[in-house]
Amino acid sequence: MKAPKVLGPLALAAVCASFITFLGAAYFARRVVVPSTTRREDLPIRQVFPGEDGSLRIELPATLLTRAPGRYSLWFDNGKGHACIGAVIAEDASGGTLTRLVERVDYGDIHAATAGIWSGYAYSKPEQLGLPFENVEIQVDGGMAPAWKFAPTAAGPVSSTWAIHAHGMGGKRAGALRGVPVVSRLGIISLVVSFRNDGEAPPSNDSRYSLGQNEWLDVEAAINYAVDHGAERLVLFGWSLGGSMALRAANLSAHSDRIVGLVLAAPVLDWAETLTSNGSASGLPKAIARAGLSLLGSNAGRWVTGLKQSIDLYALDWVTRAAELKTPTLILHGVEDKSTPVEVSERFAELRPDLVQLVRFDVPGHSLEWNGATEKWESSVARFLTSLPAD
């Protein structure tokens, strides 16, 4: 009887390395598709105090994000509190802190908060826009998805053009409220929608993100709702993941002939490059990120990811598929976006200068273009929408 063969040191090291790569890839792939219900409150709140003029003020660490001009959002108390944060009032360079105006406290006790999450949700409720709206429900797979329908404020007859607004990954529909005011002033009806696995719409049958591969079907349901209620022309607004969904809807919708324009804020145009870039920024070796992408795209990897269907990353690569674009598109993208690199949007625009307009924003962070330069964002959108053919 022969003795069992023992692996040599090099072979054993190779096996261990392969196993570590697989574990890293599995963790990476699951992080991508498993919806997160919580975020870490990583921004310390030094103090909240009244100013001499009676306004409320907040002292925060001075960072690239908190120094940025504009209006932002601060979530606190594990999502049970929210405030709109305004202009920088003062900065203490020696102490590494700054003071900003607190424009609004929507809910929660901000005085008791010790940490929070900085985001772009300048509006957390539709009422804050001061525009007429109603709550509606849209029939989607698995039930009804809540949405907000905003009537236009422009004088004159109600437009037959509707704008459908889709938020990004890990967010809520309130994140897409930023696009509504400029649309309303142009006489366009807005529909701000929820979609599968965002915690508001019914979940998918696997409770996993598919990076727009299937989420676009909920945008299609919103398109059907709009058409059934009189929409003749449609403009799709997509934030981050919502941008990927909007492109897919424009390509596949039964009503694609009615979609006259796309407005994409920091869109994900190539998931493979975006996810690899995100992994590298977090210190993840590219080999592990690539292995994770392979798990997402293979049927064999579904037992790791929990996906009912593997993800076709090519179908979601709009740079490679740029020739298939048929809809006028406006992209609004921050040049310092570390989550969704602006370089991808630049390549897309270079490939389709006939249809794609790219407006760059000198603001830090992801999907914060409106927050850092509201007037520029809204004027860019207004020019684009008014340039579209009337019929």
The DSSP bridge pattern shows strands 81-92 and 72-76 to be: antiparallel
* The pLDDT value given to residue 133: 96
Residue pair 371/321 in contact (Cβ under 8 Å)? The answer is no
* The pLDDT value given to residue 391: 60
- From residue 127, give the alpha-carbon distance in Å to each of 122, 149, 150, 170, 281: 12, 12, 11, 22, 38
pLDDT tens, N- to C-terminus, the chain (391 residues): 555 554 455 554 444 456 466 677 777 788 888 887 677 899 999 999 999 888 999 999 999 999 999 999 999 999 899 999 999 999 998 889 999 999 999 999 999 999 999 999 999 999 999 999 999 999 999 999 999 999 987 666 667 999 999 999 999 999 999 999 999 999 999 999 999 999 999 999 999 999 999 999 999 999 999 999 999 999 999 999 999 999 999 999 999 999 999 999 999 999 998 988 887 777 777 888 888 888 898 888 888 889 999 999 999 999 999 999 999 999 999 999 988 999 999 999 999 999 999 999 999 999 999 999 999 999 999 999 999 987 6
SS3 226: helix
CATH of domain 43-119: 2.40.30
Q: Which residues contact 383 (CB under 8 A, 6 or more apart)?
A: none
**To which residue do tokens 């727009």 refer?**
212
Query: What are the residue ranges of CATH 2.40.30 in the chain?
Result: 43-119
Q: Which residues contact 256 (CB under 8 A, 6 or more apart)?
A: 249, 250, 326, 327
Pick the CATH number of 126-271+303-387 from 3.40.50.1820, 3.30.930.10, 3.60.20.30, 3.40.50.300: 3.40.50.1820
Across 21-46, b (16+ Cβ under 10 Å) vs e yields: beebbbebbbebbeeeeeeebebebe
Of the candidates 181, 153, 178, 156, the residue with the CA atom closest to the CA atom of residue 166:
178
SS3 362: strand
Residue pair 188/385 in contact (Cβ under 8 Å)? The answer is yes
User: Which tokens in the block code for residue 112?
Assistant: 């008791």
Q: What is the CA radius of gyration of the chain?
A: 23
Q: What value, to the nearest 5°, has the Cα angle with vertex 119 and ends 29 and 82? A: 120
Residues facing 56 on adjacent strands: 50, 102
SS3 58: strand
SS3 345: helix
* The pLDDT value given to residue 304: 85
